[in-house]
Structure 1
Amino acid sequence: MNAIQLKVIPHQTHSGLPYQHLHIEITNDNGIIMLADLKGLKLPPGIDFTQGIVIEGKGPIWLYGYLVHECHPAAWVGCYDPRLGIVVVSTHTHEVSISEVFKVDMPVLGGSECSLSRQFESCLRVKFRFEQVQHSLEAMVNQTARIEKGKHFKIFPTFNKLFIC
């Protein structure tokens, strides 16, 4: 199974312009993909290139670049920005212009139970790792406090470092 899954959902903008929503999902446990994951990655079958395609989902810039290239035959291509909406980045039609922004409600992604389950599992793993790091830092502090009596120390968890002053 590829670490990248693509799903197409027919949708429309607030103004009624129909498009196809291309959702990206990273399916591996750590949420990190490698360049090798692009090999063999294909757009889902049944895409109607007479409409626009909007790319949305978590992914690195090089994945978005690849997908914009693959979607090139479409009437227009946009990327979803949660702050703005759909931003048109490529067009072959006079209906839309480069840099045009469309307001949109996100489509409902079918099968989201699996996606939510994966997200929950991922959150639990991150929480568990954080607790492990926190426990290790506390152990270091306790050990340092015993060894370095009389000295002051500060923990900067953002840097995962223990500084002894």
Structure 2
Amino acid sequence: MAELLHAWAIAPAAIGACCLAADRGRARWPDAAASVLMLVAMLDAALTRLVAPVYWAALLIASAMALAAWQGPRGRRASAAQPRPGTGMAVHTGLGLIAMAALQLGMGHDPLAAASAAAHGHGGGGAVLMTLLLGGALAYAAFSVLLLVRAHRPLDRAQLACMGVSVLLMAAASL
């Protein structure tokens, strides 16, 4: 069931990436690159496992930091020809990278083995990790809904909805 949920999480992520690529109203190539990176990491985790989840997580977190630096007040000069993307969308993309990194790490753990280890007194770190992952995914989905309600552009709405759904499906798959 987890593999099916993970595969279903790829579809909204791909749709969101397409919506971002189709948005010609704004120059948002860093967001598009982040979206493609998340999609590639999800595809690898679901299909091939060529790259270890810890390396994907490190790359996703480094990308979130680079995206924050790029979109920060000193990272890029704003001009009339190239308006700055919405702050909410920029934060949403960065948090999406962090959420995907956490889920990459969390999906590598077997929740049944973690529960068994906790029951036998060998530590309960897996249960705590799963609780944190689920809480983070729910918080990210709530933030997505908040931005979705405030968004005016249809492509922004589609991207927000797709990322929120994708993170929730991946969190469900990690359970």
Q: TM-score, normalised by structure 2?
A: 0.28
Normalized per residue, which structure has more strand? 1
Greater relative contact order, per chain length (Cα 8 Å cut-off, separation 6+): 2
Larger radius of gyration: 1
